[in-house]
Amino acid sequence: MTDRYAVFGHPVAHSRSPQIHAAFGSQEGITVDYRAIDAAPGQFEDALEAFAADGGVGANVTLPHKEAAFALCTTLTARARRAGSVNTLLRKGERWHGDTTDGIGLVRDLTDRHGLDLRGRRVLLLGAGGSARSVAPALLDAGILELVVVNRTPERADELIDAMGEPGRALSRYWDDLRELGDFELIINATSAGRDRDAEFKLPLSLVNSLTAAVDLNYGEAAIAFLAWARAAECRNVIDGLGMLVEQAAESFQQWHEVRPQTDAVYQTLRTGAASLSDGA
């Protein structure tokens, strides 16, 4: 039976992950059978088991399944356990092993590709769902000074902060408090608000200083609203999630095939066609 790989999400037809993994495979001389599988939240577990029965040995997981994937894993990496979120699955016998590569993918993109120094920076993280949970630990490990998480449901932000185990350095605040938080060197949008085509971000300009980089974990249409606000606010750097997507995919590829592919050429190919890309993994 041929080893198979996939990305699970809902929706997921727009995903560029099959294209990315095919390019990585071509680069490394590895034939990769990688597909996109759409599974509604109530169908994810059954779809994943059917995939395993059909030769599935590795999978990526995107919205809205990252926390559900975490719950289905028998073993987890330390960073996945800390995040409470999984985006990379590896089949071990009859069980799934889970990891989260989003955070390291984000940090690699920001530091290596965009030349940002994250050390000693105040960071504002908008959202507290699976995407936010997947990047928060890596940001703290990268040496940021302070992480402030703001979510429309405060309890979710509190849960994320509690999981980080960094009292005093990682804080949760209310969405209505945004005007009182001061300014940040890095503002990250981890919400799914941009999936609404009529979405408009209205964030206070007091969040921005002369060094502020604004990053949306989405890319394509889902990133338009937040990035439009960032440009209007004259943020120094305005970055979408395309680079993170490629870097987290490379981390997953390495776990499955024991070789880390080069990412720059794949990123540039995708960036060239970025106007036609949609959000997702």
Class of residue 167 by CB neighbours under 10 A (exposed 0-12, middle 13-18, buried 19+) = exposed
The share of the chain scoring above pLDDT 70, in percent, equals 94
Q: Give the pLDDT of residue 278.
A: 37
With b meaning 16 or more CB within 10 Å and e meaning fewer, what string describes 74-101? eebbebbbbbbbbbbbbbeeeebbbbbb
Q: What's the pLDDT at 222?
A: 87
Phi and psi at 258, nearest 5°, equal 60, 30
**Nearest-angstrom CA–CA distance, 146 and 52:** 41
Closest-CA residue to 81 (of 69, 65, 93): 69
Position 199 scores a pLDDT of 57
Residue with the larger pLDDT of the pair 147 and 193: 147
Residues marked active site are found at 66
* Residue 30, pLDDT score: 95
Task: Report CA-CA distances (Å) from 59 to 23, 47, 180, 264.
Answer: 17, 12, 41, 23
> CA end-to-end span of the chain, whole Å?
26
88-92 vs 56-61, strand pairing mode: antiparallel
- What is the mean predicted confidence (pLDDT) over 248-267? 97
**Do 137 and 113 touch, CB atoms closer than 8 A?**
no
Mean pLDDT of the chain: 93
103-240 to CATH, choices 3.40.50.720, 3.10.270.10, 3.90.1150.10, 3.30.300.10: 3.40.50.720
Q: Return the SS3 of 13.
A: coil
Chain centroid to CA 236: 22
Higher per-residue confidence, 2 vs 203: 203
Query: Among 38-47, 49-58, 270-279, which stretch is predicted with the lowest mean pLDDT?
Result: 270-279
Distance from the Cα of residue 194 to its chain's centroid: 15
Class of domain 4-100+246-274: alpha beta
- Does residue 275 have a pLDDT over 60? no
Contacts of 273 (CB under 8 A, 6+ apart): none
Q: Where are the domains of the chain?
A: 4-100+246-274, 103-240
CA distance readout (Å), 255 to 61, 133, 143, 168, 281: 15, 21, 25, 34, 17
Residue ranges in the chain assigned as alpha helix (H): 17-28, 44-53, 66-72, 78-83, 102-108, 130-141, 154-164, 224-232, 242-257, 264-272
* pLDDT tens by residue, 98-129: 999 999 999 999 999 999 999 999 999 999 99
Residue 174, phi-psi category: left (phi > 0), alpha (psi -120 to 50), beta (remainder): beta
- Please say whether the beta carbons of 62 and 83 come within 8 A: no
* 4-100+246-274 and 103-240 have identical folds: yes
